Structure 1
């Protein structure tokens, strides 16, 4: 039963909330500022009904920043460390705006406007990441009855005005043509540093992600079938060679076996022979965990080191393209397309769970393949064309 009192010219209600199951103490819900006793009675009646139905949500004073830290602690127990790091980065964009705001004061209008503003600065993928993170934070707040209304409900993704321009600029710039790849690998063979040829040849011939490559061990290679088993990926955001971890592959489809050219297997055999010599030479400090692509002390090479090796070689190439370690994956897919390998087999080899991802890569076909397709089409319809002239 609620009670009421007049205080400083306005009315206040006091509603018994029963015994707290944790503290074992009886609690009360109070709110003041009502102009009349009748208004206070109506408000108190709603609170009592919500308490009865178990739907009551109090006015939390918890800030968005405080609850986001709670959410991160919750999320860390359910996701890979790489995913947690990505979510932290995305959450920072929301914290910059609302870190000190009471979380229950953030409205749908505020949320939509903030994402709209961010969409003028960042890519669609990054905006998707920010919204997904915000959605998870507010969903947990709703589940824990910290907020009454979820501001991410009815969110509409803004139109990304830069998407079309970006796609045109980046088209056909992030992989090597067949002749370019041949020249690059010859350069790696003749002027490359230790491991360069085997690393970049394996990336180009297999389509592995660079993290998948650096996680490979001798036990992952089937020398009878020329297969490479992909079951893990290397993760090291701090680029400290001793502070790496091995995670599960990016998606379910990423766990796979990739058959490669015997040439690549021969390079890997030479690599294993070299590693045996290095283990003996540096046996006092060598950290032998069976990895194939390592520094002289046996630690997997950080991804940044692979990128620096690549940049060194690319400076010697007469190519005006922005090539990264991931570019060899696109190079591999483009060459598979050029070789007319069926799309389903390409999907399996590169580990795409969603075939639409593989289909989208077709937009990165080589110029030669496009010309070939045009010539094949013209040849196929040559008789009809002759009749129409």
Structure 2
């Protein structure tokens, strides 16, 4: 089977086609174009892949979904983040391939996908099943474009409805108890960064010392932690809006400053510490998100505190900002939402309460005064 790949030569990116030459019984490489910009080279790379795809897979009526799906994900990988790609591969290997993989591509009908969805409804949430359908939809769109199938059958499938989930949050009293219990524990600072700044768990664990401006009292979020093949690594956030610099309460900056002093003192005593990371494990590696989430859950249980997810501390933070009448645009930018509508949709419940409060105030101002005058 042929393969296409990029290789940088001097200042240019070259697209190579590697193929098997039947005359010489050897593998050969052919230059398919040289480009100064990587994006142009990638475009040509995909074009060549499309050209050889129809020729070298199998006859269209012999391709099974498993082969097509794995080949599609490999080619589509460059469009996905590491986390998303690994997630898609897990779903394919654990669910889609065992249940649908042996069906010939040309034989797939809506009933196959619908039965697949119905069978999983007792095991997975509707939101998770929609991810499965998205993978199938992307792959079958490609198959339709290549004229391997007559239609994308996913469009005919009844999509499960999401159950409405109300974010659990901590009120002021709950938060006070949490902060008291977490004082001088390893969870204190992560909890304060989540509840005091609304940072995501991956953003907290991706913080390095150069993100902290001790003079201007600001924190820059420009990295997150993700798992890649079992290893926790740092990478850029998925969206540009997630990269941001926000003002931080001086109390939080002072806590970070004290931690840096403590780390330096420990280093002088001969203890090992990470030079850049603020949070790391005993092996000086970045901490996985699920590790901190589990630790937080056990902490709540041990201290008889109301159960919430660690991520709900972020929701608690935003709700506090809304209650404090902070403008939605400011809130949206601080928490790294791509637009104001995202904030409005997620926190519609809290905003409805504010709307009712506004109505009550108008009622008191206009009609109570009117009754008093009467």
Give the Å deviation of 1:81.
1.2
1:105 corresponds to: 107
* Distance change in 2, residues 1:252/1:272 (3 Å): same
The answer to which of 102-111 and 217-226 deviates more is 102-111
| Aligned residues between the structures | 323
1:229 aligns with 2:230: no
1:299-343 per-residue CA deviation (whole Å, 9 max, x = no partner) reads 3333233223323432355544x3121111101111110111111
Give the Å deviation of 1:86.
2.0
Return the match for 1:133 from 135, 138, 141.
135
Query: Quick check: 2:130–2:159 contact (8 Å CA) kept in 1?
Result: no
Give the Å deviation of 1:385.
7.0
1:359 corresponds to: 344
* Distance change in 2, residues 1:317/1:334 (3 Å): farther
The 3-state SS of whatever aligns with 1:244 is: strand
Gap runs ≥5 in structure 1 = 1-20, 26-53
1:237-268 per-residue CA deviation (whole Å, 9 max, x = no partner) reads 77x6xx21112213221111121111110111
| C-alpha distance in 2 between matches for 1:264 and 1:200 | 11
Give the Å deviation of 1:118.
4.1
Query: Quick check: 2:81–2:238 contact (8 Å CA) kept in 1?
Result: no
Q: Which structure: larger Rg?
A: 1
Return the match for 2:189 from 189, 194, 198.
198
* Distance change in 2, residues 1:118/1:373 (3 Å): farther
* Distance change in 2, residues 1:157/1:318 (3 Å): same
The 3-state SS of whatever aligns with 1:74 is: helix
TM-score normalized by the length of structure 1: 0.72
The root-mean-square deviation of aligned C-alpha atoms, in Å, is: 3.4
Gap runs ≥5 in structure 2 = 1-18, 24-53
1:311 corresponds to: 297
Alignment of 1:1-389 (within 5 A): 58-91=59-92, 92-115=94-117, 118=120, 122-145=124-147, 147-152=148-153, 154-155=155-156, 157-158=158-159, 160=161, 163=162, 166-167=163-164, 170-171=165-166, 174-189=168-183, 192-193=184-185, 195-236=186-227, 243-283=231-271, 286=272, 288-320=274-306, 322-365=307-350, 373=358, 375-383=360-368, 386=371
